[in-house]
Amino acid sequence: MVYVLLTFASLITGTLALQRTISTDDTGTILTLGATPYFVESTPFQTYYPPQSIFAVSGLLPITSIRSQNTPITKDVLQNQLELFESVDDVWRKDFLKNLVITYDGPAKAFFDNSAISWMREKKVANLYVSENIRSPLFDKTNVAQINKGPPSGPYFFTTPKDTSSIAFFNCYRLFRDEYEAFVFGTIPGPDGSWVATNFTLPTEKDKALYIPIPSRIPLIAKGLPLAGMRFGLKDIYDVEGLPTSAGSHAYGDLHPSSNTTASSIQKLLSLGASLVGKTHTSQFAHAANPWEFVDFPYSWNPRGDGHLTASASSSGSACAIVAYDWLDFAVGSDTRGSIRKPASMVGAYGIRPTHGCFDLDGVVPVSEEMDTAGFFVRDPKLFYLLRKLWYGQVKSTIISRRQTIRNPSKLLYPIDQLPFAVPEAQKLYDNFTQTLQEHIKIIKTPINVTHTLLPYMPDSSFSELYKASNDLAYYNSWHSVGKPTIAAHAPSHHPSFDPVPQRIFKASEALSEADYNRALAIKRKFQQDVLEHFIKSDVKSCSESLFMYDAGTGGRPSYRVEEFNGLDGTAPILLPNAPRQSFQSSSSPGGGAGGPQATDYLYFIASMAGLPEVTIPLGQVPYFSHISRRWEMLPVSVQLVAHKGCDAVLLEVVKKLGELGVAQTVKTGRLAF
């Protein structure tokens, strides 16, 4: 696989003692401020040619740009901007104060009062550049020069040529260590809307951990776009112009080293002002796989608890990233059969699977076009609400209901065949949640046996048959859209190797006929119709008559990334929809089990097969004794809410209300979610 790789070979520590080291392809410089590494692009984004020669500087130096509409420019004006920088940005730091460029954006002329001049002396500013409409102040130890104007507010690097005829400003990125191996590579903007993949590592580190280049929020926020300053990671099944798409497979990545276009769903986010910082790991071709079944690429590390817990399905890289790194605001995944919902539940993050069909999924590696959706993970319920509203709000699809609701859903369908949990602390969280919905949102708990309720809508009244139909849809489509073309493209030189799960799936898929696919599609459409008419019904006043709640996680029990650990006392293996169709025999009961899948282990199939919207809400955390750390750790517990097709906004309003009530809280990064 060929990436456009940016690397560096040495670091020189110190604020002013910076050494410029060119990468192998001459695309930029890596340097440090103190012990913090930065990447500086090789091409300036702005170059000014002052009317008079200015003093020269040696090499690349950090600089802070400040813009003001006030005159006189006072200490308070300058200090307030820097306090704002510190509060919103993790790229800017005080080392950038060694040099200043200040631009006046108001009418007529501006000047510095004595408090501002004293403040700059106190900060020991070495070089000061002011726009031409600012009266130059006098300093004893600070070089002062006038230029046309400075760049947008924020941190940059700059230099001047030896003839001092110009000053050039460069974008910079702080490099953050991908400690949890969530990313395949980092990204920076390239020319003409394209992107460049980065693979930064520190030569001083033996593990050669990946470093992700993170842009400053300050100049991005100044653009005024709805998501300006927001950074996101992207599951590596989405095409982005200029970037490779591997879908977790070296064989596939070799055939797709650089995309010519950007997936329309992702272009919407970029147009809203969000900043892409890298692509995240996925299971191969987005087929659900256990951590020990990852071969071509590593499985990401879930930071929760003892650090050895699984994050479940194919969007695990995005899920791990959002709960690992404060510098990331949201992460995009995909959900076919639980790949947003299960990871969100396992790591304790907010996640959404929207109504199926609300997005065009061009430029996305497909699993099953009948079930694929684009979703995301966040830590903050307010951002969850905003992001869904902005991103999905651009959708012109008639699938999403835009009718104003005048009341909440009346019933909360509570699955007594899955609940209560065996872990009392987890069940208490669920009891408190249902009580809150009843008291404050007036949604009444309605116990149901979901298996018995839905069996009449399943083929032959058997969940195993519904399960097989779901597998047939995913296997047939993935084989003909991805597997078979990838093998053909590598022939006749060699037969590409695949990870264990896709290898089994593709082998099983060779026996599937178009008639098998059409049969499975008919089963899905009949199930969807019955669910919409009889289970989670439409309502004129509330859009969705009821909400269905359940657990997509492990009920407060740990599940580990190492297969053998899941045989230890108190653990709960994750059951994924990855077994070939012939591996299941007829179940001894309609709901599954004894040779077939158990319906209550796959309640996330309901939204997948019926095209329904679903959200994951973190509720809290419960203690478990870790056989790894040999101490008590904390494990996130989350709840799922499912609504009628097109009623995505109803779920978001519930999350918003729960946030106002203090039930839906912002989760933390690291070992503890709360």
Taking 70 as the threshold, does the pLDDT of residue 85 lie above it? yes
What does the pLDDT average to over 127-144? 92
Is 344 part of any domain?
yes
Give, in order, the Cα–Cα distances in Å from 256 to each of 175, 241, 362, 554.
27, 11, 15, 37
Residue 595: what pLDDT? 60
| Of 129, 154, 170, the domain-final residue | 170
Is 166 part of any domain?
yes
| Of 170, 201, 230, the domain-final residue | 170
Give the confidence band of 591 by pLDDT, cuts at 50, 70, 90.
Answer: low
Q: State percent of the chain over pLDDT 70.
A: 93
| Residue 368 sits in the same domain as residue 454 | no
Dihedral in degrees, nearest 10, Cα atoms 643, 648, 654, 658? 120
| Residue 212 sits in the same domain as residue 86 | no
Give the confidence band of 231 by pLDDT, cuts at 50, 70, 90.
Answer: very high
| Residue 181 sits in the same domain as residue 255 | yes
Beta-strand ranges (E) seen in 34-162 are: 36-41, 46-48, 61-68, 99-104, 127-131, 143-147, 154-159
What amino acid is encoded at 180 in this protein?
Y
**In angstroms, rounded to a whole number, what is the distance separating the alpha carbons of residues 329 and 323?**
10
| Residue 463 sits in the same domain as residue 435 | yes
**In angstroms, rounded to a whole number, what is the distance separating the alpha carbons of residues 224 and 179?**
32
pTM: 0.94
Give the count of beta carbons closer than 10 Å to the beta carbon of residue 204.
7
Is 644 part of any domain?
yes
| Residue 154 sits in the same domain as residue 180 | no
**In angstroms, rounded to a whole number, what is the distance separating the alpha carbons of residues 523 and 518?**
9
Is 232 part of any domain?
yes
What does the pLDDT average to over 323-336? 98
Under a CB-based contact definition with an 8 Å cutoff, are residues 108 and 133 in contact? yes
Residue 7: what pLDDT? 38
What does the pLDDT average to over 203-216? 91
Residue 583: what pLDDT? 37
| Residue 320 sits in the same domain as residue 273 | yes
Where residue 200 sits, what CATH number does that domain have? 3.90.1300.10
**In angstroms, rounded to a whole number, what is the distance separating the alpha carbons of residues 152 and 81?**
13
What does the pLDDT average to over 365-390? 97
Residue 492: what pLDDT? 83
Helix residue ranges, H only, 400-513: 424-440, 450-454, 463-478, 484-490, 500-509
pLDDT in tens, 235-264: 999 999 999 999 999 999 999 999 999 999
CA 37 to chain centre: 23
| Residue 537 sits in the same domain as residue 469 | yes
DSSP 229: T
Residue range(s) defining the domain that contains residue 532: 411-573+597-661
Is 17 part of any domain?
no
Give the confidence band of 593 by pLDDT, cuts at 50, 70, 90.
Answer: low
pLDDT in tens, 507-525: 999 999 999 999 999 999 9
Number of domains in the chain: 3
| Residue 209 sits in the same domain as residue 281 | yes
Taking 60 as the threshold, does the pLDDT of residue 317 lie above it? yes
Residue 590: what pLDDT? 56
Is 56 part of any domain?
yes
pLDDT in tens, 528-577: 999 999 999 999 999 999 999 999 999 999 999 999 999 999 999 888 88
pLDDT in tens, 645-671: 999 999 999 999 999 999 999 999 999
Residue 313: what pLDDT? 86
| Residue 657 sits in the same domain as residue 529 | yes
| Residue 342 sits in the same domain as residue 439 | no
Helix residue ranges, H only, 13-164: 75-88, 114-122
Is 21 part of any domain?
no
Under a CB-based contact definition with an 8 Å cutoff, are residues 287 and 367 in contact? yes
Q: Which of 39-53, 137-151, 396-410, 453-467 has the lowest mean pLDDT?
A: 396-410
| Of 102, 137, 170, the domain-final residue | 170
| Residue 337 sits in the same domain as residue 482 | no
Residue 544: what pLDDT? 97
Q: 501 or 407, which is more confident?
A: 501
Taking 60 as the threshold, does the pLDDT of residue 494 lie above it? yes
pLDDT in tens, 268-308: 999 999 999 999 999 999 999 999 999 999 999 999 999 99
Residue 432: what pLDDT? 98
Residue 11: what pLDDT? 31
What's the mean pLDDT when you consider all of the chain? Answer: 91
pLDDT in tens, 16-74: 444 344 344 477 888 888 889 999 999 999 999 887 878 888 888 999 999 999 999 99
| Residue 211 sits in the same domain as residue 234 | yes
Taking 90 as the threshold, does the pLDDT of residue 401 lie above it? no
